[in-house]
Structure formats: structure tokens, C-alpha cells
Structure 1
């Protein structure tokens, strides 16, 4: 099994703080999520997370016009420059002060940074410049403000920019030193100037303040009345000086403070967001017109942006982690997402690996799409924290346990809670397990020492398994049979035969408290994680220990801010709370109350790889060493000192935090800092990824399968040119194997689709078994990612490979499992679409079937020539000449075919009507060369 997993996506959290950025074409949206950046493709419904991390939460991001360079700055002023296309970090830089905004110029040669009360303009790194030793070269520092700068806006020609500040003014600057006389201060506002914008022709400037005032500034001519007397018009035109003056004042009159604003110069659209959750759209120009107003909740709208076309608006609210993309013309949502309100407790993959379900302390269950990263559905039936979720084997039913004393079953077809399981007394369920057959569900609690068994069909409590002498910590079923394993704090593990209500072996004694267990997919072994930091593997049949892994040295626990010692001397979190087997049972994943996810090789009892969950210093448990520079004279870490009382805004000074609060409520209103933790781990059924529920969100690690060049059994004679040459010579099998060895996607695609239909079965029979898995993987990726229109063609490929190599695949099922999961996912999705289309066109199919019967009746007794006639029901039939082998023309005379030429039309669809039960055949040309008669074409 491969171990080169890398972070591919961050689910469960869509926005935390900072600004949102659209790409140039407006199809992608960049959102800062903690100390990472996530990119949402709004057209293809896909998302990915950049692999780099900041040391603190991101404050602002910017993308240049060419979509090649991305710069992100965190709360401490540390910036990272990234190649947006290849997702490679180019440079790290420290501005050494708090940065409130960063913006690229429209020309892309400069970017401006608001650092404190100054504006710094830097040259954008360019590979074409020679002797450039420093990637960041500062062009100039602009001063003039007396308080922190809030925003920067560039003119369209990149010669000027406006900065707004907390000193209630805005200033315009010129990029060149020769235009120093351009500098001008725009004053008159009575609160912070939130933002300022240039019009399309740069002759008008709009400034927006926090108290809801909009000033329109025009660059107009200014003359005194005394100077106008005694001068000709020509002299006046030559000597007229120009200056910025207020042309109009408008006010929003909202119930809350204005928090953010954006402007679209091409359409003169202004979008503003308020602290009460309301956002409004205005049209500026000669008049001030209010177009729309809408509310995204009761929480503050922290950021707003508009794409290049002016159609989509993006909003972010940090308090609840909301992200909206709104199309204002159609008044519909393109994207409406919100993460969990509290920390995640559990996760579970669907059987096809396309979805992940998470449960949280907020009592909500969310279903996430792995490919898009979007939340598909949220269940809110639980009234307390959700402790575990698990799918039934077919993936249509989801079970969840909660501390509210219930275990609920959800129908994922109709998306509803259809059954609720409870015990005889009110207890809190902390674990559950579902029988592979889907008939039995069991639950455990820390309140009692019994295991409760219910029937899924009837919902009745069948039995309670007794024997444990301590709280139940974990339950697990295998995938092959109905063997149930249970772990308890009484230092024992018991294995039950659930249908005979008996224990198959004697209780397995453990040296320490059992925290979690997992069963190997083939039900022959089970692994147990204990409080002393060991992972023990037992053989189920004879209850003997086969492997022992000491994980205490592999765990990176981290230190908290109040700790006076380094993490190496800490005993906190030196054990694993969650473990999971891989698909083949050879690898084990482990995580817990620490900053590491460890992957172990069970047979050799060695650590294969260790993943660091987060480097975000805003969370406890990520630092390793004590920084003495941050210790005050009183011996307190300076990061623990609350400085909110020094803020200038009243709403920032108000303290709503709960002393000692760690869980529940608003995450931004806790007095104690959140600590890094891994609460649940699970491998994907496709075997190419695994997910981890952490404090930062749902992290998805996957194997990079998009490598362009991965040579396999390469030879000197194997080149793309020789492959195409073999294809031209119709040596299809040779060309296919050569393309698979080169592993060039475009080459495999070209060879596969050029194989004639009649030769697919022969090539599938002769292809070596070594390449069967590779070709199945390719077909699955083409159908899922590229959405190929050649559905039937690839289905013939799949059928031929399965028929010819089915026995080999059955004996190597773990090897072929990822490819078969990809194909199963596509087929199930396509089947649903076909059924849906069939239901929508039911009456059309009935009409076409009835038309065929009428056509046959009308064609009896007719001549050989093609003719058109109308029968009693008003149905027109066009009957082709049975003896004429020529194609029908594209003419417009009566009785001739009005559609496209039949030369490229080659379809043979058989539809069956409920009414007549007769098949109807459509054909442009008869595929059978021996047939003399052309078939009937129905209009």
C-alpha cells in the first residue's frame, strides 16, 4: 500500500476570517480557512486546499490579474507568495507589522500593502528581470494617515491608488514620484472610511464610511467669480485648475454599522454589508438607486466581493463560518455553505467513497461531497452532541448516536429521520455499530455497562449484552461476518456472536484502559489502543496477541501557552483515541489528543509516516518549545493577556466570553484557547485517501494520482511517436500497452478511443493482467472527471475486461478495489440520471410508441416512392422508399427529410411503450450492410 498521502482538501470549514477573492474569469473563489486557503470551483463544483500553512490565521489574500501569483498574509504580517497554477510556494516574507489589506495593481507589476498607518508598494517578482537577488523589492512607502490604513484601491490604469484609514479620511497617491502634487486628502466623514473606489473613467471617486455615508467626489474645474470677469472663454479654458470636490452625499440608513463594501466599475454596482447580517445592492451614477437588499442571518457580514462580470456576489461571515455566493439578477444562491458550529467528534465514509458524514458537538450531522467539498445536507434532529455516525452496508441508511439518549436512522434517499432507537432508561450513547447485513444495530454508553441490541426493521430493543464491568468505550463489527467486538474501561475486550448471543472466545485481558478498537476488514484480527500509549493487535480466533506497537515516542503532543516546559517533557496526549485499518489490513492509522497522525506497518511494527495536523500557533498544542521572549516579568505568556479593552471600537471592547468555557457556544467567545485534537480517522473505500476529523476541520489526505509522467516498464523504443505510429498501423494492443507504460493521460485517451468497437473484446482478452487495473483506473477517471460522452463505448470496455479477467480480479480484490469503486460510483450516478430522464419523458415515449403503430398502419398499401399523408388522427408519417438505397436530401420540399443529413446519423435506439409494448427503432442508415431496406424515420 502507498504511504505518500498529502493534504488535498479541507472540509467542514469554508471560511473563518479575511477577504474573499474571485479569479479573473469569475468561476473560482478563494477563501481563507484558518491558516490555509481553499479554492472553490463554482462551475465544476470542485474544491481543493493549498498545502502550505501560515503560522497564524490568515488576515488577507490577493491574486493578480493573470491568475498566476497568490499572496497571503497572516495576523503577524508574515506573507507567503504562491504560484497559483502549480500551487508551489515561491517565497516567504515578513512585513514585521500587522497588515490589514494587500492588493495587486491591474497591470500586475506592483502590489500595495497596508502596514499600520503606512502604505508600502512593492514590485511583483518577475522571472524576466536579470540580477534580481531579492524576490520582494520595495518601490516606495507612502505616509500621510494618522491611524491604521483599512483598505487600498487601484485605478484601472495602475497609476494611482486610494487608501482609507481609521482617521476618517481617504488619500489618493500617485505611483510615480513626479506626480507628487496628485496627493490629496478626502475628509468630511464622521467615522472610519471603510473603502474607496475609482469609477470606470477614473473621474469619480466614491468613499464609504462605517456610519453608512457615501460621498461622491468629482474631479471638476474650480474658478473664483472675480477671476472670471474680463477673461475670454479661451483664456478661461486654458487657466482652469481642477480639484476633487464633493458632488453628492448619500446615506444607507441601516440598523447596523457598515462593515464591508465593494464596487464594480463596469456596471456601477455598489454592494455593502452591515453588522446585522443585511447586505444591499445599489446602482451608482447620476442617481443613487437601491436595487436589492437581503439578509444572510443575524451575524455580521465581514467581507464582500464581486466577480468580473458583476453577476456573482461573495459574502463571508466569520462568527458562524458562513460562505455565500449570490447571483443578484436571478436572486438565487450559487453557493451557500456553513461549517460546524463546534468541534467534530466523528466521521464516516459512504460505501462508494463519494461522501463523508461528520457529527459534531453542536448536535448537527453534515453530509459532505468529497469532490466538491460542499455540504449536501444537514440533519438537526439530535438535541445534544453526536458521538458516532456509521453507514449501513449499501449506503442508503445512516445511523448516529448522541448524548441525548437516542440512536437515529436517516434515509439518505428522502433525507429524513425515519427511525429512533432508545433504551429502557435515559442514558447517553457514546458509540454504535451496525451489522454488515443491516438488520442489527448495537449501542454502548458510559452510564451503564451493557451493550444494547435493536432490530433495524422493527425498531425494538431485542437484547442487552452483559459481561463488562466498566463503561463501554468502543464497538466494532467486521465486514465479512456478524462478529462484534466491544472494548471497555474494565481493561477487557470481548468478542460476541451477535445472533447466538454468546461470546466466541474468552475475554481478552489488556494491561491498561481500552480507549478504542478497530477490526480488520477480513475479521481475523483486531487492534486495540490503550491509555499507556500502546497499540496491541490480537488474533480473534484464539485470542492471542500477535503484534505490539509502542507509540509514545512517535507522538508529537505539543505544549500549551501556559505550560512552563517543552512538549518533550509533557505526558499530555501520549496515547491514541482513534485508530483505523486500511483496506488490505496491512496498515494502521492512529490519532488522538495531539498534533500528529501516525501510519504504522503492522507486520513490521514500524512507523511508516507521520502527518503534522496543523502549524497554526493560534491553537494550543502546536508549539514544541517555550519562547522566553514572550514571558513577562510576572511570569505570564504575553499571548495570554487580554488586550480587547484597548480597542477603539465599542463592539470590540465588549467582553462576552465565558470564563473557563471550552466547548459549546460560539467558538469566538471562549476564554480558553482551542487545543489541537484528532477525534476520528477513517480510510476511504477507494483506498486512495483517508480523512481526519480535527480541531481545524475535516482534513482529507489523498495519494496524488494525477502525475503526468510515471514510467512503468519503460524501454528505449517506447516513445509517444512510436505509440502513435503503432496506432496508425492498427496495432491496437501494442499501442495501448506502450501508452500505459508511458502513463501519459492524453496518449492513453487517444489510443483507447481509437480502438474499433469490434476489436475491444479481443484486446481485452489479450491484454496482460498486469495492465488490467491500470486501464480500469483510467476508464473510471475519464468517466468521473472528464465526463466523457462516450458512455456506451466505455461500458463495452468495462464489460469486456470484467468478463475476460473476472477470476483474476476476484482473487486480487484488494488490488482492484479502488478502480471498481470509481466505476460503481459513476454507474450509480448515471443510473439515477437515466431513471430521472425516463420519468420526465414518459408521455413522450408513449406518444412515439403509438406513432409507430399508426405509421405501420399508414404504410400498408402505399407505393414505393416516399410520400407523406395525414391519417385520421392528424399524425404525419414520412415513409422512405424501400428500394432506393440513396440517402435522403436536406431539401425542404414536401415529403422530404427536414433535418440534418443522414450521413453522420447512426443511432439505433429501441424504446418500448407501456401502451403498445412495441419497440420503436430510430436509424439514419441501416448498420447492416446486407439489408436492402432503409428503416422508417418518424418525425
Structure 2
């Protein structure tokens, strides 16, 4: 069992707050998700999340034009500089103030931040002459505004930048001290100036204010005070003062205030987002409205446009929604939204390619593991969805909800095709599915019985009685479908034989409340998590305790802001609420309402690895010690609601219902607590996922290492491998290629082996290279054109080593899944081609038969005609043959015609 899992991706959350950034090629989009940053590849449909974390939620991000440095700043002004290509953190820095905007200059030499009333310009970190890395060196501080600066925009040549502020003015600054006379104030708006832009020639500046006004500024001559007197002196005419003046005023005339805006200078395209969810596209300087669309009823918090001007990115903080819109074709490139509320349950599909999550908002979402995108959302449930579970084949998904129904979903057509209900209205909080997919069972805290339904008929088959308290959790084994384990508040665990409708053994007495149970895949053991912080392993057949793990000492329990006691003395979350077995049953991963995910080795009862869920200080329970400076006799200063001090009216208003906190991501009077509600191992054994407060965390084994030598020797080189291959020692060459782990070398040896020798090579292949060989073939066959050649390899490998593979299933799960997908796809293609050829063959044979039938008919008609002629000739000319008669008849006709012609000539 591998234990070197690392954080790889964050699903379920696509946008929280802050700004969106496109890469210079316009193909990738960066989005802040809580205290992390996610990257979405819009062309290849992939995504990843940087593994570094901020102490608080990210407020602003910026990427230099070269695409090498990413700078992200949290709400307190703490910045992290990251190498965007290698995803390595380079430097930490504190700006010591909230940052409202952050922009790299187009040439990449500087970046400007808007912090408070000032604009700070810093030199971009680079390598100096002595090859020393110089992190943050400040170039200059620009002042002049008397209220907070909202945005900074650079000119195309990186010489100037224009800032906008809450003081209803914009200011132009020069980066060079020799051009300090350029500094100028642009005043005239009646509300906050949200954003300002230079056009392509830098001769026009556009400013957009919050009240919906767009001003166009041009550098023109200042009008003379004495308009009647005209100067005749040419020198005086040349020396006329120049200044930026308003040359045009336009108004959006919207029902709501402007929230954000962006401008694409090459195409003169202006995109504006409003508080009511509407966004508009205008063409400047004519101010022609191109399009007007809406994201919903909540405000558009940020907008950005890629370098080509084709794709627009919108983010809505309250909805947690992220859109990428192609305005020319009026279609969505990306449309993603996370859950409104906390996730209750998750499960992997049997092939490990999808993760399904259920939430308190009543929705079920299906996420693609590779791309990180939501494929489909089911919203038929009318209350919180408490559990989801796949059938063994992965074509059917089951869900249980507090609305009193258990539903079955078709994962091919994405529809609800069965709804199961009990004889009375009860709220289901646990669910288990028979591996065959024929039986589904559910438990509730309303009754003490377990409901059993038939999937085929949707009929309630039976109810299992015996528990003396509400049912808390259910679990089936993956291989033995008849064994069901149930736990109840009566501190007992019962093992049921479903098809025998009896208990397999005596009830297992537990000394504490059972919080979670999980059955080993082979249904031989069951793991139980209890309220006292212990994990106990029981034998299913004999009801004997095999192992006991004390998890209290391994749990990281943080301190809440309202706690009057330290984290060390807290017993709030010193237990696990969710468990999951690994594929081989040798390891166990556990988590709960705390900040830790623990992985245990069952046989030795030791902790293999501990994962910290989040470092976000804005969540309760992430810090073991609170800052004593923030603590007072009345409690923590962080608990004080300061929204009434905001300058904007919409920020001061609190529209949330008092006491209602579910389904409202914008709540301000409750701090969410860090917790993991569900955890599950991937069937490929290479990853596991955890549903947490921050989203769906995916931890996987890093398989991106290119050079991973195995049993390497000094005599093993690529040249030696190729020499061995030329000597036709195929097995030795294959083993040497695997030891070097060079893919091109393995590929060359693989395709050089003659077909007649494949069986000999596979028979003698050491088992230590078997998984590597299957993994290599699984990757190769997707793009390879040699179908039969690959099938011969697979057939001989399975035939030669089938027993070993069957005995070590967990080691080959990932490679066999890849080959299984290839075979299923190949079978589907072969069947499709076979059907097509069958139809074509039947069509052609039908055509041939029809043509033969037509020819036979023609021939029969001709033969009949010939018979009739023969009969007539026999009657007229009995002595002469038919040929002679015909000749005689024709000569007579010719002679008659000759006589007629002679008469005419006469």
C-alpha cells in the first residue's frame, strides 16, 4: 500500500472572490478558490490547483505577461510569489495592508499594487548580474488620492499607469521620474471611478464610474480664457497649454450600479458587469451596444477578457459561479458552479474516473477527476441529500435524502428512473447498495428499522428489525453482496444476511456511540469509529475484535474563536466521523470534524501519514493557539461584525435571515468550521478524496516522475539495450528498458519483438515488471494503430500470469482498469463496424440477387421469343431453314425496292 499521497486538486469550488486572470495565450484561466488558486485549461479541458495555501482567502492574483511568475495576495496583504511553470513557491512577502488591485506591467519589469490611498510600484523579482535572486524591491510610492484606490491600469508601453479611487477621480502617473510632469488628475465623475483604460494608441483614456457613466478623455489644447483675442504670434500658438479633457460622455442607463469592467484595446471592446447580474458588451468609441446578457440575480464581481478578445470570464462571489463566454458565437466555453452548502457524502465511480458529491442544498453533482469539471447536476431532491452510492457496474447511482426518498439515477442518460419510498414518511440518512445492483437498503433516524427495496420493481421487499435505536450507518462488502453491516444509537453493530433475511452472527456490543462503519472489500472485516476516538476492527464471521487504534492523539483539534478553553482541553472533535478502506484492505483512512486526515496501517495499528485539511485562518478550528492580542473579556475581536462601517450601502445591508445559515455563502455572522464530512478511496488505489469545508480535496500519488530507475546497474545503458535488441535477446532488452524506465526505449523493444516470440517473452517475464508492462500497454493502446499486435500481447500476459494477477488484484488495479477501458472501447468499435458491414453485406447480396433475378427474367423472355419465331418459320418454310427463309425474304424485299426506284427514275 502506497502512502506517499499528496494534494493534487480541489474540486467542488470554482470561484470565491477576487479577480480572474487569463494567461498570455488566452487558453488558461486562473481563479481564486478560498485560500488557494486553481488553473483551468479551457482548450484541453483540464484543471489543477496549486498546492500552496494562504493564511486567509485570496483577494487578488496577477500573472506576468511572460507566464512565468504568479503573485497572489490574501485579504491581509500577505503575498506569495510562485513559479507558474514548476508550481514552486519562491518567496513570501507582507505588504501590511489590504490590496485592492494588483497588476504586472506589460513588459514584465514592474508590478503595481493599490493599497489604501497609495499606489506602490515594485520591481519584478529577477536574477541580477551576480545571479542572486532579488525578491521584492520597491521602486516608488505614488500618492495623491484622499480615499482608497480601487484599480490600477498600465499603458501598453509600460511608461504610464492610471489609477481610480473612491474619491471620484482618476490620476495619471509616469513610471520614470524624468516624466513627473505627466501626473494629472481626471475629475468629473459623481461616484466611485471603478476602472480606467488606455486605448491602443494611448491617446484616449476611458473612465467608468459606479453610477454608470463612461467618460472619454483626450489630450487636447486647453481653451483660451480670452476667446475674442486671437494671438498672431506663431510662438504663442505653439506654446498653447495641453491637457486631458472630456471629449465624450456616455451613460449605461442600467437599473443597477456598475460592479466591474474591462477593456480590450485591440478590438475596442468594453465589457461591463452590474450589481443585478447583467453584463454588457460595447464597441468604443461609438458606444454601440453589442450584447446584453444576465448571469442571474446576483452581482457580477469580476470580469476579464483574454488576449484575442474572444473569450470573456465572469465570476459571481455569492453564487460561487465561474463563466467563460465566447461572445461572437454566443456560447459558453466554461460554465461551472460549486455547491451552495456543505457536502455530506461522496463516492467514486467503479472505474475511478468520476466523483459524485451530495450536499445540503439538495443537489447531486458529478465531477470528472481528470478535467475537474462538473459534468451534470441532479436537483430532483427537495431536501438535503445525505448519502450517495454507485452500483458495481457504475451505470446506476443511488442517493438518499431527508425528503423521504431514495432515488436511482441512470448515469448514461443522466435521468432519475426509480424512486423508492417507505410505507411512512421518514428521513433517510444512510444508504447501502448490493454489489450486484439488485438490492438497495436505507436507514433512518426516525425509525429503528432498515428498509430493503428491489431495484427492478421499486417495491419494498422487507424491513430488518432488531435495533433498539435509530440507524446511523450502513455498509455492504464489495465482493460478498449478501453481507450487510448496520450500526445504531443502541451501541450495537449487527451483521445481516440479506438474502437469508437473518443475522449472520450475534450483535457486536460497542462501549461508545458508533459514528461510522466501513466494511473491507472482501467482507471479512469491519472497521468501526466511535465517539471515544477509537477505531476498532472486527471479524465479521466470528464477531471478534482484531485490532484497536487510538486516534485521539493523532487528531489536530483547533480552537474556535468563541471558545473559553484551549484546544488541548477541548474534546469537541477528538473522533472520526468517516472511514474508508483502501482497495487492498491493508490501510484505513479516517477523518472527522477536525483539521486532520489520518491514514493507518491496520496490521501494525500505526499512523502512516497525516494530512492537514486547511491552513485558512478564516475557518474555525484551523489554529491551535489564538492571538492573545485579539482576545478581550468580551471575546475575540474577530467576532465583531464590522459590516456596518462599510462605505457602500450594499455592503452594509445584511439580507440574510437571522438564524438561517444553510445555503447562504454570503453569511457574515457565522464562521464556518473546518471539517471533513465524507472520505473515499479511488478504485484505482492511486488517490482518495475528502469532502471538506473548502471543497472536494483530492490526494493522489505523484506519477509524473519521468526517470525512475529500478534495479539499475552501471552496465545498463540505452546503447547496451539497443545492442541487446539487435542480438534478438528480446526479454533481456525489455528488462533493461524497464530498469532504465525510458518510455521511448520500452516502446522500441515492445514493437520490435516478433509476433511468434511474444508468447515466449511473456512466459519468462519476471512478475516484478508485470505491472509496469500492463501500465505501459494501457497507456500505449489508446493511440496505437496496431490493434491485433496489442491484443496478442495482452492475451499472452493474462494467460501466462493470470493466477499471480488474481492473487494480487490490488497491485494491478490501475493498469487493469486502463486495459479494460481499451478492450471495452475496442469491442464497441468492432461491434459497430460488424453491424455496419452486416448491413452493407445484406444490401449488396440483396442487390446481386435482384440483378440475377432480373437477368433470369430477361433470358426467359428472350428464350420465349426465340421459340415463337422458330414456330412461325417452321410453318412458312418447311423445306428451308430459318436462315435461308430470312435471306430469301430480305432479297425479295431488296429486289422489290430496286424495281420501284427504276420506275421512279423513268
Is 1:396 aligned with 2:395?
yes
Alignment-derived partner of residue 231 in structure 2: 229
Is 1:536 aligned with 2:536?
yes
Alignment of 1:223-262 (within 5 A): 224=224, 229-232=231-234, 235=235, 238-239=238-239, 241-262=241-262
User: Equivalents in 1 of 2:229, 2:526: separation in Å?
Assistant: 96
Alignment-derived partner of residue 526 in structure 2: 526
Alignment-derived partner of residue 300 in structure 1: 299
Alignment-derived partner of residue 472 in structure 2: 473
User: Equivalents in 2 of 1:793, 1:362: separation in Å?
Assistant: 51
Change (3 A) 1:231 1:795: farther
User: Equivalents in 2 of 1:272, 1:756: separation in Å?
Assistant: 65
Alignment-derived partner of residue 739 in structure 1: 737
Q: Which of these residues, 717, 740, 765, is aligned with residue 767 of structure 1? A: 765
Secondary structure of the equivalent of 2:666?
Answer: helix
Secondary structure of the equivalent of 1:667?
Answer: coil
Shift of 1:228: 5.5
Alignment-derived partner of residue 182 in structure 2: 182
Change (3 A) 1:212 1:824: farther
Alignment-derived partner of residue 273 in structure 1: 273
TM norm structure 1: 0.87
User: Equivalents in 2 of 1:629, 1:160: separation in Å?
Assistant: 42
User: Equivalents in 2 of 1:514, 1:17: separation in Å?
Assistant: 39
Shift of 1:835: 7.3
Deviates more, 1:691-700 or 1:723-732: 723-732
User: Equivalents in 1 of 2:777, 2:23: separation in Å?
Assistant: 31
Shift of 1:436: 1.3
Deviates more, 1:747-756 or 1:420-429: 747-756
Is 1:452 aligned with 2:454?
no
Asked if 2 retains the 8 angstrom alpha-carbon contact of 1:277 and 1:296, the reply is yes
Secondary structure of the equivalent of 2:553?
Answer: coil
Alignment of 1:32-181 (within 5 A): 32-130=32-130, 132=132, 134-181=134-181
Secondary structure of the equivalent of 1:585?
Answer: coil
Q: Which of these residues, 811, 815, 818, is aligned with residue 811 of structure 2? A: 815
Alignment-derived partner of residue 313 in structure 2: 314
Shift of 1:79: 0.4
- Which 5+ residue runs of structure 2 have no aligned equivalent? 853-906
Secondary structure of the equivalent of 1:568?
Answer: coil
Deviates more, 1:153-162 or 1:337-346: 153-162
Change (3 A) 1:718 1:236: farther
Asked if 2 retains the 8 angstrom alpha-carbon contact of 1:455 and 1:461, the reply is yes
Asked if 2 retains the 8 angstrom alpha-carbon contact of 1:658 and 1:671, the reply is no
Asked if 1 retains the 8 angstrom alpha-carbon contact of 2:641 and 2:669, the reply is no
Asked if 2 retains the 8 angstrom alpha-carbon contact of 1:686 and 1:822, the reply is no
User: Equivalents in 2 of 1:788, 1:252: separation in Å?
Assistant: 57
Is 1:798 aligned with 2:803?
no
Alignment of 1:377-396 (within 5 A): 377-396=376-395
Asked if 2 retains the 8 angstrom alpha-carbon contact of 1:101 and 1:150, the reply is yes
User: Equivalents in 2 of 1:640, 1:804: separation in Å?
Assistant: 67
Alignment-derived partner of residue 625 in structure 1: 625
Secondary structure of the equivalent of 1:463?
Answer: strand
Change (3 A) 1:652 1:803: same
Asked if 1 retains the 8 angstrom alpha-carbon contact of 2:82 and 2:88, the reply is yes
Alignment of 1:807-886 (within 5 A): 807-828=803-824
1:522-567 C-alpha deviation (Å, 9 max, x unpaired): 1111010111111000111111111001111111111101113321
User: Equivalents in 2 of 1:700, 1:467: separation in Å?
Assistant: 38
Shift of 1:128: 4.1
Alignment-derived partner of residue 209 in structure 2: 209
Secondary structure of the equivalent of 2:79?
Answer: strand
Is 1:676 aligned with 2:674?
yes
User: Equivalents in 2 of 1:714, 1:567: separation in Å?
Assistant: 50
User: Equivalents in 2 of 1:798, 1:316: separation in Å?
Assistant: 48
Alignment of 1:266-665 (within 5 A): 266-285=266-285, 287-481=286-480, 482-632=482-632, 634-662=633-661, 664-665=662-663
1:140-177 C-alpha deviation (Å, 9 max, x unpaired): 11111111111111111111111111111111111111
Shift of 1:135: 1.1
Q: Which of these residues, 691, 696, 703, is aligned with residue 698 of structure 1? A: 696
- Which 5+ residue runs of structure 1 have no aligned equivalent? 860-939
Aligned residues: 849
TM norm structure 2: 0.90
User: Equivalents in 1 of 2:402, 2:848: separation in Å?
Assistant: 67
Change (3 A) 1:806 1:76: same
1:796-827 C-alpha deviation (Å, 9 max, x unpaired): 54334323322321222111111112333455
User: Equivalents in 2 of 1:90, 1:426: separation in Å?
Assistant: 58
1:313-332 C-alpha deviation (Å, 9 max, x unpaired): 11100101001111111111
Shift of 1:857: 12
Greater fraction of residues in helix: 2
Alignment-derived partner of residue 709 in structure 2: 711
Q: Provide the alpha-carbon RMSD of the alignment.
A: 2.4
